[in-house]
Structure 1
Amino acid sequence: MESTAVQMLCVALGAIGLTGVTICSSLPEWIVRRNDTEYHYGLWMICVKNRTGAPEWKTYKDAVVPLRSDFHVAQTLITISCILSGLSLLILIFGSDFTSCVQNKNTKPKMILAAGVGLLLAGLLVIIPVSWFSTNMRNAPEGVVLGVSIYIGWTDGLLMILTGVLIWYFSRPK
């Protein structure tokens, strides 16, 4: 890459994307069902809100409702995305021109390119389950809506894809 400013920007965008994917994964806001009681389904837990009482948080182990297979797939893809984007960010930081962790000038562009590919794949791994859930919600009964985690996932998946493309574009040989 020619500019350390572009590398720093890509590190910042990748860190924002990783943080957003972690938030998307941890919030119980993937699917919201509103009836007499309000149910918030996340990847890892359910939140039940009664009209009069406080919210009640349950993991899928404690809940009566079994975990659907699409939630298992989404858990796996989002977890792999978090790990891949974290590793890609570390590779990007260590291979960047603004750090002196790697002294070999031939290795640095390859590390940066590998980080870009990793961030691109991590973004795709977020977009897949988020799009899957939104597509399945087209035929949902009334009172069932998409939660805020879906929108966070779309935004941060696209942000990581953009970061990977920027890294790839500026690290290619001239």
Structure 2
Amino acid sequence: MLSAAIQILAFALALLGVLGTTVATLLPNWKVSINVWTSIMTPISQMQGLWMDCVWYTSGVFSCTMKNSVLSLPASLQIMRAAMVLCCMVATFGLCLASLGLKCTRWGGSHRAKGHTAIAAGGCFILASLLCLVPASWFTNEVITTFLTTDLPDNSKYQPGGALCVTFISAGFLLAGGVIFCLSCPGKRSRRPDYAASADPDRFELHRDERRRRELQVEREQPKNRKNKSVQLQTDEVKQEKATKALELRLYSSPSKLPQKDIKDSYSLQEYV
């Protein structure tokens, strides 16, 4: 897995990409027409964007008109709008995942879970960069094609504006951040304790404390087990002794089964008589 410094760099690039795409989506200068006139109230610059059209006059007045009617807009412009909005949403979601997948943060789960989260964030950034590049390239192609094919004078034609440059640069930032995050593979697990401690020291400390607690619990239970075993042995011995005494009593109570010593004593008494 990549180091924390490289991940922070990728997060910064992705953050710049998200801010750039958001600003470029709202900017009105996707294409610009520069007109130079002698009159004071004539426009010197006309700009068109995804959401508004603006005019800048020689007197310093700057006015904009919103494109409120969705049905009157061409289909290509509506698709570009949707792509840029979706790009901003996916990139923002990727930032949330990236904050969980950073190694310098404490949230996000284990070491392996952070790696998978970072890879998911990288995929979101790459997808957002593609969603940003497609409408920017499409819009640039339309502007250049119109500029080269129409017979209008040059002062009435439109050229690519600064918003397109911001869009391409932001897409590059998102792509770079996504590729770096996708390289954050968690790798294979190792059974060596030193690697486990270096990879995730908090987890290793937790396992060590848990193992120590279990050892102490076993040591506390050992005297109780020994005491229970000794009491069980004594109980067995008492039971065995009682059983032996009961057997002897049954044998002595029977007249036909007298002890051998008593039989010999009776024979000697008869001989004496």
Find out whether 1:90 has 2:104 as its counterpart: no
Q: Secondary structure at the match of 1:40?
A: strand
Find out whether 1:152 has 2:166 as its counterpart: yes
Which residue in the other structure is 1:167 paired with?
181
Cα–Cα, structure 1 residues 69 and 33, in superposed 2: closer, same or farther, change >3 Å? Answer: farther
Q: Secondary structure at the match of 2:183?
A: helix
- Looking at structure 1, the residues matched to 115 and 79 of structure 2 have their Cα atoms a distance apart, in angstroms, of 34
Q: Secondary structure at the match of 2:111?
A: coil
Which residue in the other structure is 1:117 paired with?
123
Find out whether 1:127 has 2:133 as its counterpart: yes
Q: Give runs of aligned pairs for residues 73-84 of structure 1, distance below 5 A.
A: 73-84=79-90
CA contact (8 A) 2:2 2:183 kept: no
Which residue in the other structure is 1:20 paired with?
20
Which residue in the other structure is 1:4 paired with?
4
Q: Give runs of aligned pairs for residues 65-76 of structure 1, distance below 5 A.
A: 66-76=72-82
5+ residue gaps, structure 2: 36-41, 148-153, 189-273
Q: How far has the Cα of 1:61 moved from its partner?
A: 2.0
Find out whether 1:42 has 2:28 as its counterpart: no
Counterpart of 1:96 in structure 2: which amino acid? L
Cα–Cα, structure 1 residues 26 and 32, in superposed 2: closer, same or farther, change >3 Å? Answer: same
- Looking at structure 1, the residues matched to 145 and 97 of structure 2 have their Cα atoms a distance apart, in angstroms, of 42
What TM-score do you get using the length of structure 1 for normalisation? 0.90
Cα–Cα, structure 1 residues 68 and 50, in superposed 2: closer, same or farther, change >3 Å? Answer: farther
Which residue in the other structure is 2:63 paired with?
56
- Looking at structure 2, the residues matched to 25 and 98 of structure 1 have their Cα atoms a distance apart, in angstroms, of 32
- Looking at structure 1, the residues matched to 60 and 108 of structure 2 have their Cα atoms a distance apart, in angstroms, of 56
Percent identical across equivalent pairs? 25
Which residue in the other structure is 2:209 paired with?
none
Larger Rg computed on CA atoms: 2
List structure 1 segments (4+ residues) > 6 angstroms apart after TM superposition: none
Q: Matched residue pairs, number?
A: 171
RMSD: 1.8
Counterpart of 2:2 in structure 1: which amino acid? E
